[in-house]
Amino acid sequence: MRRIPPFLLAIALSLSVCNQTTGNSIAAGNAAAPGGSQANASSNSSGNSLWGVTEAEDETSHRGIDFIAFNRTGRTVTALAIRPDEGPLAPGARATPWSANILSQRELPDGQRAAAHYEADIELCRWRVRASFADRQSRDYPAVNLCETIRVDLR
């Protein structure tokens, strides 16, 4: 008789207890996701191949823009702001205003990195990023594609 390693036995027992208390059953391809909930499949769902379940998307599943700013400017960044990169504007047209500070920390010293988050319900890729420095100067970085990268190098 083959002996089951203790850690596998513990995992199997914990899954069994979780499923008994939540009413979920484990069937091939329908293992319960962490947290004990299993979403219903629908036409707006995406598969989670690790757990074999589908998760329904909600309104907030794609909200917000997140990236990591790497400061290579030689100066301390005190604020980051973004706005859609609208390209050349028609005469008399007003540009979209800059966001409030989206930097996750108070300052970003040279050579360091920090997270930035902008809560938006806009599905755009091209953004302008403005770095403000401790000496009250600022620098704009046009056409940053935040769909293709999460790393923004400020130089």
pLDDT values of the chain reduced to their tens digit, one per residue, 155 residues? 445 555 444 454 444 444 444 444 333 333 444 444 444 444 444 444 444 545 454 554 556 889 999 999 999 999 999 999 988 889 999 999 999 999 999 999 999 999 999 988 778 899 999 999 999 999 999 999 999 999 999 99
Residue 138 β-bridge partners: 132
At residue 64, the pLDDT reads 85
Distance CA 140, CA 130 (A): 4
At residue 46, the pLDDT reads 45
Q: Is the whole-model pTM more than 0.85?
A: no
Cα distances from 77 to residues 71, 73, 112, 132, 155, in angstroms, run: 7, 8, 10, 6, 11
Q: Of how many residues is the chain composed?
A: 155
The token pair at 146 is: 């935040």
At residue 21, the pLDDT reads 43
**CA-based Rg of the chain, rounded to a whole angstrom?**
23
Residue with tokens 């069994």: 16
The CATH number that domain 65-88+96-154 falls under is 2.60.40
At residue 110, the pLDDT reads 97
At residue 29, the pLDDT reads 37
Where in the chain is CATH 2.60.40?
A: 65-88+96-154
At residue 132, the pLDDT reads 98
Judge whether 147 and 88 are in contact, CB under 8 Å. no
At residue 28, the pLDDT reads 38
